[in-house]
């Protein structure tokens, strides 16, 4: 990757510049999706490394105004109807009903959308009310991703999640009654003190709610989070690696038996219910990004908006960006492998051969693939390169070599 150097402020930190400074390069942008980041939260969970903070509701109105102004500016980069929208956070459903409705309505008015566009919004169970569900449905939201994380009260406390397990079923019932049928449940396994039996129960309770999609992630101790600090101070202990592997294997077997398609390392869906916006990421597509800390990708550029709400509010209408990277050929090849091989279907052999025929790291990447195949971690199947069932468990190390 070729870094695009931004001017340095006093103290050596790069100053923000509006994304419009790269308009000549972005003229070639062909985004098919949009991401919106809403940073407000009821509580900052100690494992989360996304930009979010406890909402005092004093800046929600300014946030919506600023976001819609940003959408009007970003429309200049959109040359065909967008196919996906993902509103994440934070907790987007923490916005008041009126502000959430105005945000979603404004996005529909300011940007062009395909008739069958998929609109996804993340939600916390406790924030879903009858009126909130009606706002989502009437605004054209087609999928809601529910942050359940666990159905075990002790593990929810470990994760600092402030909802009751029963509220997940209540929230999903309200969303279905409002007309939103496509529902995802997020779960986290390998939480400290957890057991295989507890994880089996989590999966059973999730399946009993009949979601269309499940995202199951192993707990990650992200640098800079309070959870990582507690780990390094000895306040928490990682779950045993063998137990974590058993939890993942149980997930694969249980969800396969329930009729779910394992389409990405951490994601399962009923046939035809895959999250189209996330597929856009994994298939190396282009998307625009709005809101503080949101990351976008278009025309060979990757950028990240400033991750300070007040600074973002004071700029505009184009998003102020703190970092920009222009991917050179070798960087694009590495990212193509990194994203494409996260899909369980893998990558077509002709695509793999083309990528291995270019780039300065081609010999190293070829050797890494051959070594992974020899170990049984990767395989050729149906003229595609993919991770084997056992190789999925160690995929991160292989993907780092290919990047």
pLDDT at 44: 67
Same domain, 316 and 335: no
End residue of a domain, out of 272, 296, 326:
326
Q: Is the torsion defined by CA of 364, 360, 386, 240 positive or negative?
A: positive
Domain end residue (candidates: 326, 349, 376): 326
Average pLDDT on 174-182 reads: 97
Looking at residue 221, what is its pLDDT?
84
**What is the residue-wise DSSP string for 176-229?**
HHHT--EEEEEEEE--TT--HHHHHHHHHHHHHT--SEEEEEE----TTSHHHH
Measure the CA–CA gap between 296 and 220, rounded to whole angstroms: 23
What are 319-373's pLDDT values in tens digits? 999 889 887 888 889 988 999 999 999 999 999 999 999 888 899 999 999 999 9
Q: Which of 300, 265, 322, 291 is nearest to 86 (CA)?
A: 291
| 377-380, Cβ contacts within 8 angstroms, sequence gap of 24 or more | 380/349
The Cα–Cα gap between 242 and 88 comes to 32
pLDDT of residue 96: 96
* Residues 257, 180 within the same domain: yes
The CATH number of whichever domain residue 63 belongs to comes to 3.80.30.20
The model carries a pTM of 0.92
> Based on the domain organization, do 80 and 120 belong to the same domain?
yes
10 is a domain residue: no
Question: Domain check: are 398 and 275 in the same one?
Answer: no
- Dump pLDDT digits (tens) for 109-143: 999 999 999 999 999 999 999 999 999 999 999 99
The set of residues, in sequence order, having a beta carbon less than 8 Å from that of 329 and lying 6+ positions away, is 358, 359
Give the three-class secondary structure for 145: strand
Question: Does residue 177 share a domain with residue 307?
Answer: yes
Q: Quick check: is 56 in a domain?
A: yes
In a domain, 8, yes or no: no
Q: What is the end-to-end Cα distance of the chain in Å, rounded?
A: 11
The verdict on 310 and 359 lying in the same domain is no
Residue 319 falls within a domain, yes or no?
Answer: yes
pLDDT for res 5: 37
Confidence class for position 3, pLDDT limits 50, 70, 90:
very low
Is residue 368 in some structural domain? yes
Q: Which residues constitute the domain of residue 346? A: 329-402
- Asked whether residue 221 falls in the same domain as residue 351, the answer is no
The DSSP bridge partners found for residue 216 are: 187
Q: Are 353 and 224 within one domain?
A: no
Average pLDDT, integer, range 284-305: 95
User: What pLDDT sits at residue 49?
Assistant: 65
Q: Are 224 and 49 in contact (CB under 8 A)?
A: yes
Residue 245 lies in a domain: yes
Tens of pLDDT, residue by residue over 13-38, are 557 899 999 999 999 999 999 999 99
SS (H, E, C) 247-292: HHHHHHHHHHHCCCEEEECCEEECCCCCCHHHHHHHCCCCEEEECC
pLDDT for the residue 279: 95
292 and 393 within one domain: no
Per-residue pLDDT at 328: 84
Residues 339 and 376 placed together within one structural domain of the fold? yes
Locus of tokens 């005092």: 56
156 and 70 together in one domain: yes
**Overall number of domains in the chain:** 2
Per mean pLDDT, which range of 49-63, 146-160, 206-220, 277-291 is the poorest? 49-63
Place 12 in a pLDDT band, splitting at 50, 70 and 90: very low
Question: ∠ CA(363), CA(365), CA(369), 5° rounding?
Answer: 115
Q: Taking Cα atoms as reference points, which of 250, 275, 253 lies closest to residue 264?
A: 275
Q: What is the pLDDT of residue 11?
A: 42
pLDDT averaged over every residue in the chain: 91
Domain termination site, one of 292, 326, 360: 326
Q: How far, rounded to the nearest angstrom, does the alpha carbon of residue 396 sit from its chain's CA centroid? A: 17
315 and 349 co-located in one domain? no
Residue 307 lies in a domain: yes
Instruction: Examine the pLDDT at 248 and tell me if it is beyond 90.
Output: yes
Rounded Cα gap, residues 396 and 387, in angstroms: 11
C-alpha torsion angle, residues 117, 123, 128, 134 (rounded to 10): -10
| Alpha-carbon separation of residue 206 from 84, 187, 226, 264 (angstroms) | 26, 9, 28, 19
**Residue 9 DSSP one-character state:** P
Q: In this structure, what CATH number is given to the domain that contains residue 395?
A: 1.10.10
Residue 234 has what pLDDT? 86
The answer to whether position 310 is within a domain reads yes
Q: Which residues pair with 357 in a beta bridge?
A: none
């Amino acid at each position: 990757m070729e870094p695009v150097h931004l001017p340095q402020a006093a103290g050596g930190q790069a100053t923000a510049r509006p994304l419009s400074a790269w308009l000549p390069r972005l003229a070639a942008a062909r985004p098919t999706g949009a991401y919106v980041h809403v940073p407000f939260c009821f509580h900052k969970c100690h494992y989360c490394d996304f930009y979010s903070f406890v909402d005092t509701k004093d800046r929600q109105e300014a946030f919506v105004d600023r976001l819609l102004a940003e959408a009007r500016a970003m429309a200049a980069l959109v040359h065909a109807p967008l196919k996906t929208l993902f509103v994440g956070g934070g907790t987007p459903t923490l916005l008041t009903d009126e502000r959430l409705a105005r945000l979603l309505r404004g996005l529909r008015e300011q940007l062009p959308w395909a008739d069958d566009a998929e609109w996804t919004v993340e939600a916390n169970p406790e924030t879903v009310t009858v009126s909130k569900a009606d706002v989502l449905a009437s605004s054209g939201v087609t999928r809601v991703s529910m942050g359940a994380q666990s159905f075990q009260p002790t593990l929810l406390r470990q994760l600092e999640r402030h909802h009751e397990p029963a509220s997940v079923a209540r929230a999903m019932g309200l969303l279905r009654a409002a007309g939103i049928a496509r529902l995802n449940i997020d779960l986290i396994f390998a939480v400290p003190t957890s057991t295989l039996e507890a994880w089996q129960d989590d999966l059973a309770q999730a399946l009993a709610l009949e979601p269309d999609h499940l995202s199951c992630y192993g707990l990650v101790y992200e640098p800079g989070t309070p959870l990582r600090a507690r780990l390094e101070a000895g306040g928490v202990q990682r779950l045993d690696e063998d137990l974590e592997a058993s939890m993942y294997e149980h997930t694969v077997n249980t969800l396969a038996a329930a009729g779910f398609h394992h389409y990405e390392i951490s994601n399962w869906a009923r046939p035809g219910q895959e999250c189209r916006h996330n597929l856009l990421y994994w298939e190396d597509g282009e998307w625009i990004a709005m809101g503080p800390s949101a990351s976008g990708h278009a025309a060979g550029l990757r950028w990240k908006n400033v991750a300070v709400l007040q600074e973002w509010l004071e700029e505009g209408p184009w998003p102020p960006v703190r970092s920009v990277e222009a991917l050179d050929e070798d960087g694009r090849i590495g990212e193509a492998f990194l994203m494409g091989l996260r899909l369980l279907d893998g990558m077509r052999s002709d695509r793999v051969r083309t990528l291995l025929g270019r780039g300065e790291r081609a010999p190293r990447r070829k050797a890494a693939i051959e070594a992974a195949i020899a170990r049984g971690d990767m395989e050729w199947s149906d003229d595609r390169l993919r991770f084997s069932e056992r190789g999925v468990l160690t995929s991160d190390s292989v993907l780092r070599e290919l990047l």
